Amino acid sequence: MGILKLGKGNFWGVIIPGGFLFINIFAVFYSDNLDKLILQSGLGYSFILLSILFSIIIGYVLRLIKPSYAEYFSIPILIIFLLFRKLIINLCKLSKIHPKYIKAPPSIHEITEKFPYTNLFYYKHLNSFPNSVKDFYNELLQKEFDDEIERIGNPFFSHCKNYIVENSNHLGEELFLTEGLVRFLNGMFYSLTLSIIIIFIKSLHLNFNNEIFNYILLGYIFSLLVILIRYKSVRKLEAVMCFDSFYITYNKINRNGNKDFNLFHSNEPSEDND
């Protein structure tokens, strides 16, 4: 595992979500004893080190949860927004107002399709790519997958990602940045969810009534909804960027036009993208 991957993907996807959840747990249960803890830990240095350690541990526990689980929670929210957007468009049409500022809503199939969204990539995104890119992926689909799009799943996505990392440092870095954003949103989804549950249970069962925490709770719920609304879009960006970068990297290496798709022989294990 390279230092770049450790520094970017794991920092945003591990330390920040873990630290966020740790701060909320501490603020709810131990904020009254803060002065005593700092005095007992020697000017706070030991407390800071322990906080960082616990943040990393919590972050890695959250990191073990697959990104696809958060995506499942986002589907009902996206369907509600789909129905709302359709309602707005229909109202505009009835009022003879052209809804030019409202994007066409996605279909149910787009919302429910699983990562890495190969149907969406082939039937929608490729239409906006140059013909050379479309020809490349259509030929790959025909030769390597017997025209069966459903066979292009996580294993091929991991193959593309590893191929890019092995052969293009710049594109690999961009891919890690996008992956780090996905891991950050995934970690923050669970961190926010657990923080909301902790604050809610504390306020219900332990006579915990603090107006500031009530406002914080509302802010957390709003942030959680924003993540659920945008989560699938960011994962789509990751998938499209990976497939596009694979095309660029592959053609840079194989300028002689020989489309041998079995050139990758790396044994490096890839991360779980489910």
Is the pTM above the cut of 0.85?
Answer: no
Q: What are the DSSP calls for 55-93, one per residue?
A: HHHHHHHHHTS-HHHHHHHHHHHHHHHHHHHHHHHHHHH
- Residue 222 is predicted with a pLDDT of 95
Structure confidence at residue 12 (pLDDT): 76
Residue owning tokens 């991957």? 5
List, for the chain, all residue ranges whose pLDDT scores fall below the cut of 70: 1-10, 30-44, 95-105, 205-210, 255-274
Q: Please report the pLDDT score of residue 213 as a whole number.
A: 72
Confidence (pLDDT) at 248? 92
The amino acid present at 259, given as its one-letter code, is K
pLDDT of 266: 42
Q: What's the alpha-carbon Rg for the chain, to the nearest Å?
A: 23
Cα distances (Å, whole numbers) of residue 12 to 125, 213, 248: 28, 25, 27
Using one digit for the tens of pLDDT, what is the confidence trace for 36-68? 655 555 555 777 788 888 899 999 999 889 888
> Residue 18's pLDDT is what?
93
What count of residues does the chain have? 274
pLDDT of the residue at 265: 42
d(CA 221, CA 84): 20
Q: Which residues 6+ apart lie within 8 Å of 188 measured at CB?
A: 16, 17, 20, 223, 227
